Amino acid sequence: MNVIDHVRDMVAAGLYSNVRLLSSLLLTMSDNNPEFFSPVQKYQLLVYHADSLFHDKEYRNAESKYKIALQQKKALTKTTKVRPAGGSAPSTPQTQCLPSEIEVKYKMAECYTMLRQERDAVAILDTIPTRQRTPKINMMLANLYKKAGQERSAVTSYKEVLRQCPLAMDAILGLLSLSVKGAEVASLTMNVIQSIPNLDWLSVWIKAYAFVHTGDNTRAINAICSLEKKSLLRDNVDLMGSLADLYFRVGDSKNAILKFEQAQMLDPYIIKGMDVYGYLLAGEGRLEDVENLGGRLFNISDQHAEPWVVSGYQCLYSKRYSRALYLGAKAIQLNSNSVQALLLKGAALRALGRIQEAIIHFREAMRLSPCRMDCYEGLVECYLASNSIREAMVMANNVFKTLGPNAQTLTLFATVCLEDPMTQEKARTLLDKALAQKSDYLKAVVKKSRTSES
């Protein structure tokens, strides 16, 4: 074995701190004496050193070293001769253990993503020929295309993931979120469903989440409940979390909280969805429970948005708006796609009177989750706070037409109508319709009582 083999073995063993020290010294040796390592060995060293930097989360430094490594790789077309390191012959042909150029480009894309340079990430992945793209490359491309609003390219990449890995369920959700019909998505998995025993539930799962992404929450709840009743899927924490979120979306806080509590009992380390749970508890005035939830989540991980959001809602409902704003911003920094973090920050900005900034955050939340009513409610409240009743009316009317006449959309429409003396009678009618559909919908009950007093 030569010294490069030892570095490679340490990378394989996960000894990144050791790799970083040794590779740095060896690269300096190479810089001072270019003849000491061949182009092949120099390429290997650069990649291994970059890997160690990536492991230490020094993404900008790692990206620069990966870029140098790719430039070094070009030199390999000019020479295939391998010079022995330190005078000893290599034990295996160097070309057989070279780090993959495709993998290097993928790591560069990961660096760019962590640095929020999504365009650069797409650019480097696009240089990989289509036929050489692995499922993880296509998955990353799909997510990046989706975030950039390039829906057609995103759909193509998600489908390619499913062609190679037909049980890639996050890719299925990606397609459904881009309005690909459930039947078409199901057809991409049909062969594997039919060939493997006990996978018949997957078609129902796809149908359920197709309902979720079209905003048909009631049918989504029914579909997931039918899955949850199956003995083999009973007490699945992900299904329980989805049910909790759906009950929240239809305004059924009681059942939403119940399902979140059940999910916690199934998995005490669950993080996903706990931001919504914290928001619901705060809305019920259970601030001590919110504080305890935030502390528990921070003990699990402070690298997720959820604990910061939960603590933010505890501050928001305690009227510590500046602190809530900071916590919301921190959550967004950790996950720019966190809808609840955007809503928290928007609410804090609105409370501080920074209405235009709040509107930007509510609009982004609405873009990420167009079927969530609280995104629209936040935006309408901003318009009303700035006396933009016309904009509020247009928004409420659009939501009413898009999501249909349910208790939530009727109440939102009524809320705007109450602001104009000319439409207050219409507001009462809308609230009556909302309560006829859902007699215990708290927001409608509160609005109705206020109209009765006036």
Mean pLDDT for 295-300 is 96
Q: What is the pLDDT of residue 447?
A: 85
How many beta carbons lie within 10 A of that of residue 389, not counting itself?
15
* Whole-number pLDDT of residue 405: 85
Q: How far apart are CA 10 and CA 214, in angstroms?
A: 49
* Segment (H or E) for 32: helix 16-32
Q: Please, how many CA atoms are within 13 Å of residue 199, restricted to the half-sphere of its CB?
A: 13
**Position 26 pLDDT exceeds 60:** yes
Contact 4, 45 (CB under 8 A): yes
pLDDT of residue 293: 97
* pLDDT of 79: 59
Structure token pair of residue 361: 């955050």
Which residue matches tokens 């603590």? 311
Residue 414 tokens read as 């009524």
What confidence tier does 404 reach under pLDDT thresholds 50, 70, 90? confident
Mean of pLDDT values over 351-358: 96
Determine the Cα–Cα distance for residues 89 and 454; give it in Å rounded to an integer: 93
Confidence of residue 82 (pLDDT cuts 50, 70, 90): very low
- % residues pLDDT > 90 (the chain): 74
pLDDT confidence band for 438 (50 / 70 / 90): confident
**What local confidence, expressed as pLDDT, does residue 371 receive?**
84
Which has the higher per-residue pLDDT, 311 or 371?
A: 311
Report d(CA 431, CA 76) in Å as an integer: 73
pLDDT of 88 higher than 70? no
Give the residue with greater pLDDT, 61 vs 399.
61
Q: What is the rounded average pLDDT of the residues 185-195?
A: 92
The pLDDT score that the predictor gives to residue 439 is: 83
Q: What DSSP string runs through 144-198?
A: HHHHTT-HHHHHHHHHHHHHH-TT-HHHHHHHHHTT--HHHHHHTTHHHHHHSTT
Give phi and psi for 237, each to the nearest 5.
Answer: -65, -35
CA distance 219 to 52: 49
Confidence label for 453 from pLDDT (cuts 50, 70 and 90): low
**What end-to-end distance do the CA atoms of the chain give, in Å?**
88
Distance CA 134, CA 153 (A): 16
What is d(CA 146, CA 213) in angstroms, rounded to the nearest whole number?
15
Q: Residues with Cβ < 8 Å from 362, sequence gap 6 or more?
A: 342, 343, 346, 375, 378, 379, 382
Mean pLDDT over the full length of the chain: 91
pLDDT of residue 29: 95
- Confidence class for position 77, pLDDT limits 50, 70, 90: low
- 123 SS3 class: helix
Whether residue 81 has pLDDT greater than 50:
no
Q: What are the tokens at 51? A: 């890997």
Distance CA 371, CA 367 (A): 9
**Chain CA centroid to CA 236, Å:** 21
Q: What is the residue whose two structure tokens read 């489908």?
A: 159
Question: Where does the pLDDT of residue 423 fall: very low under 50, low under 70, confident under 90, or very high at 90 and above?
Answer: confident
* pLDDT of the residue at 96: 55
The single-letter code of the amino acid at 322 is S
User: Residue 90: is its pLDDT beyond 70?
Assistant: no
Q: Determine the pLDDT at residue 269.
A: 96
pTM higher than 0.95, yes or no?
A: no
Q: Is 198 left (phi over 0), alpha (psi -120 to 50) or beta?
A: left
CA–CA separation, 109 and 136 (whole Å): 11
Residue 283 pLDDT = 92
Half-sphere exposure of 271 (CA within 13 A, CB side): 15
Mean pLDDT of 143-171: 96
> Are the C-beta atoms of residues 141 and 105 closer than 8 Å to each other?
no
Evaluate if residue 402 carries a pLDDT over 90. Answer: no
What is the distance of C-alpha 85 from the center of its chain? 46
**For residue 58, what are the contacts with CB-CB under 8 A and spacing of at least 6?**
none
Sign of CA dihedral 325, 331, 336, 341: negative
| pLDDT for residue 95 | 53
